[in-house]
Chain A
């Protein structure tokens, strides 16, 4: 038996004895598993939207408005005869993509500033943290809605508006971690080792403090979905006819009081389930990365 085969058998033998990775995950961290499953299915459905429906989410059909679920229209149609299933899938693409993109920029800016603040302290730290104090004095929705108004409707305005507000949470979280780490022997060792400051910050400090930020990013995506949907609900977000869960809910609301619930309820359930899945991933990651919340 060659060496390679031997390792292969021992390796597979090990796997057979200890529970498989999935089983282990289900035992140790069910939240991460089920959260990822929920979100995974939703993301997959959004990505495969054209395969899952043959309807155009914006195509109106006035011969079949406000229909219930049928073989033709899985979830029925809205007041303009548009297929709700198709709108739900394409709406997921818009909302999920935007909510995720709108986390990246604040995460990068906030974590970097937070790490720099925590590492250097002094006047730089004071200035950044005072700016943060001022920005958070404005209620989140007030600032975001005002910013979107000033920047004009549209995807890039939404991303910029959210980024201006939400970098702060990352900066504060990472700063606190970085401050703790900066006073440890680990940091002293790096200095004694003669490493350059940028290298210390980006290669050694940040990788060690980022897990808090990553866990927070999950709840941040949930918050972003809420903001995007709310903006669209008020006609300040995604511009119709592009489908989005927010403008679907806003268009469905007038029918809600009249007893036709599905128009508003279906996108609402999508928002709630997605948020729930993301929160579970967040809790699961917190456990996995041993982050205190």
Chain B
């Protein structure tokens, strides 16, 4: 296990370096001059030159890149131009809501998708298939922000069950505030998750080990939980981890509709304020977050599936 972990971590290094490089290139190889964009069209050449010097943009690209790497390693992500605070401090308050949001939507998507998948795997009627099709049709083409708006209207404004926006102050408030945003995100991945779980469940239920377990006279509940579902959960997990990019990107949209003070609103504020260091740092954190989740699922994979562990 530790050897596997080590190998996996070593493999991660070039990818992380790559994401860091890409973030750097994004901000430095683009046609526009960040200093000019930041100061606006009417800035004097002197002001632009001064800002370029302050940001180190007057240095050769390679030097800038080395400085960028050095700053990252030492945890200096620069200072927000708008908030005038170190970005690392801002990130510390911005990350938890986004992490909770993504976790809650992952859990919610499982709560919705697993029973639906189980039902459609056993039901022979066309009804379950129709439900699956309808879900896919409705949620695949509907913009996330529109689903969010409808939820706010129905559950927050009309029924007053959930707060309209924000994050609350106490831990329970956080969970309540994030319920609708998490549900919005979850519905985006339920169709995909359900379809793949259904296929995996049907495969598992038709397998020889399930037949054997049944022949042994195990209760059907045991067969389901310990044989079929456990095996199907492996493919479910991999689908869920692939969807983590969607959850992260979707949280950017959802957070802005629900005004949650997380990474998504942070990035959007950075964009609206032309706050380059903030945009750069948040894009990088989002990417690292996704890579971290891939790593965690890879590890969970080996714990769930003995066959992987043996390799």
Binding site for B on A (CB under 8 A): 130-131, 133-143, 145-147, 149-152, 222, 225-226, 229-230, 233-234, 236, 246, 249, 253, 256-257, 264, 268, 271-272, 274-276, 278-279
Contacts and interface: CB of A to CB of B under 8 A. Distances in A.
A134 B31 CA distance: 22
A272 B143 CA distance: 8
B189 to A, nearest CB: 13
A136 B18 CA distance: 11
A141 B252 CA distance: 7
B30 to A, nearest CB: 5
Given A137-B19, A141-B252, 17 more contacts: A130-B14, A134-B19, A137-B287, A138-B283, A139-B248, A139-B290, A141-B249, A141-B253, A145-B268, A145-B271, A146-B283, A152-B32, A268-B143, A268-B146, A271-B142, A271-B143, A272-B141
B286 interface: yes
Interface residues of B, number: 44
A222 B249 CA distance: 17
A139 B263 CA distance: 12
Interface in B120-147: 136-138, 140-146
B225 interface: no
A128 to B, nearest CB: 13
A275 B27 contact: no
Interface string B281-311: 0110011001100000000000000000000
B26 A146 contact: yes
B235 interface: no
Contact of A264 (B19, B146, B246, B279): B146
Interface string B263-285: 00001100100000001001100
Nearest to B158: A257
Contacts of A140: 245-246, 249
A230 B145 contact: yes
B19 A138 contact: yes
B153 interface: yes
Interface of B: 14-15, 18-19, 21-22, 26-27, 30-32, 37, 136-138, 140-146, 149, 152-153, 157, 245-246, 248-250, 252-253, 256, 267-268, 271, 279, 282-283, 286-287, 290-291
A139 B32 CA distance: 23
Closest A-B pairs by Cβ, 7 of them: A275-B141, A139-B249, A141-B249, A134-B18, A139-B248, A137-B287, A149-B271
Contacts of B18: 130-131, 133-134, 137
B141 A276 contact: yes
A142 B143 contact: no
A135 B22 contact: yes
Contacts of A152: 32, 37
Contacts of B271: 145-146, 149, 236
B190 to A, nearest CB: 16
Given A139-B249, A141-B253, A146 B146 contact: no
B267 A142 contact: yes
Contact of B32 (A141, A150, A229, A233): A150
A142 B137 contact: no
A146 B22 contact: no
B290 to A, nearest CB: 5
A253 B249 CA distance: 22
Contacts of B250: 139, 141
Contacts of A145: 252, 267-268, 271
B273 to A, nearest CB: 11
Contacts of A133: 15, 18
A156 B138 CA distance: 30
Given A134-B15, A136-B245, A138-B19, A230 B157 contact: no
Contacts of B145: 230, 233, 249
Contacts of B146: 249, 264, 268, 271
A256 B150 CA distance: 9
A152 B37 CA distance: 9
Contact of A142 (B14, B30, B152, B283): B283
Contacts of B138: 272
A145 B253 CA distance: 10
Given A230-B143, A230-B144, A271-B143, A139 B245 contact: yes
Contacts of B246: 139-140
B138 to A, nearest CB: 7
26 contacts: A134-B22, A137-B18, A138-B22, A139-B245, A139-B246, A139-B252, A140-B245, A141-B253, A142-B248, A142-B282, A142-B283, A143-B283, A146-B279, A150-B32, A226-B141, A230-B145, A246-B143, A257-B153, A268-B143, A271-B142, A271-B143, A271-B146, A272-B138, A272-B142, A279-B136, A279-B141
